[in-house]
Amino acid sequence: MSKVAMLIEKGYQEAEALVPYYRLLEAGYEVDVVGSESGVVYLSKQGYPLKSDLAADEAQAKNYIGLIVPGGGAPDIMRTKAGMVRLTRDMCDQGKVVAAICHGPQVLIEADVLRGKHCTSFKAVKTDVVNAGGLYEDSEVVVDGHLVTSRIPSDLPAFCREIVRLLETAKVSG
């Protein structure tokens, strides 16, 4: 299996969605853009359009090897969508690669999957991460098992490198 899901919602941060999206395509992965609704065009913080392939309520963790949660204002909306939270929790429970950047860990917090995990986030989310039981580190990328987290767009090279590394390991062992 070489399919990855990427959550999307209005207000996403362009680079934090598009850089991993295209990096994964380059590495040979199929990427499904998963929104709260299927076939909807979601606008980024700067108005860049990205259309969802399917709704989170339709997405099943068993069909994916990994999940990407970009940042920006989108995670604040994503964490209120039961389907997105369920998919995130299911991916973590099944030991799939889950990667979140910037405000993306807000979805991980809502899914209650950070307790005892080393992770990072945008500085404004640090207290929430710690209160959710996450072991916060101020680093460009933090990997804890199948979980990959980063802070800001300039961390994207390290973030993408670790995502691809873990996905390749998962493909070999899966």
Which CATH number covers residue 52? Answer: 3.40.50.880
Decide if 125 contacts 142 (C-beta within 8 A): no
> Which has the closest alpha carbon to 72: 173, 152, 168?
152
- Flag whether pLDDT at 156 surpasses 70: yes
Strand (E) positions, 102-140? 118-119, 135-136
Cα dihedral sign, 104-152-15-99: negative
pLDDT score, position 71: 97
Catalytic residue among 103, 119, 146, 160: 103
Catalytic residue among 92, 102, 119, 160: 102
Range of the domain at 165: 3-173
Residue range 45-55: mean pLDDT, rounded: 96
- Flag whether pLDDT at 173 surpasses 90: no
pLDDT score, position 149: 98
Q: Is 118 a catalytic residue?
A: no
- Flag whether pLDDT at 6 surpasses 90: yes
Q: Given pLDDT bands bounded at 50, 70 and 90, which one contains residue 1?
A: low
Full-model pTM? 0.96
pLDDT score, position 174: 57
- Flag whether pLDDT at 22 surpasses 90: yes
* Tens of pLDDT, residues 109-136: 999 999 999 999 999 999 999 999 999 9
Number of domains in the chain: 1
Q: Is 146 a catalytic residue?
A: no
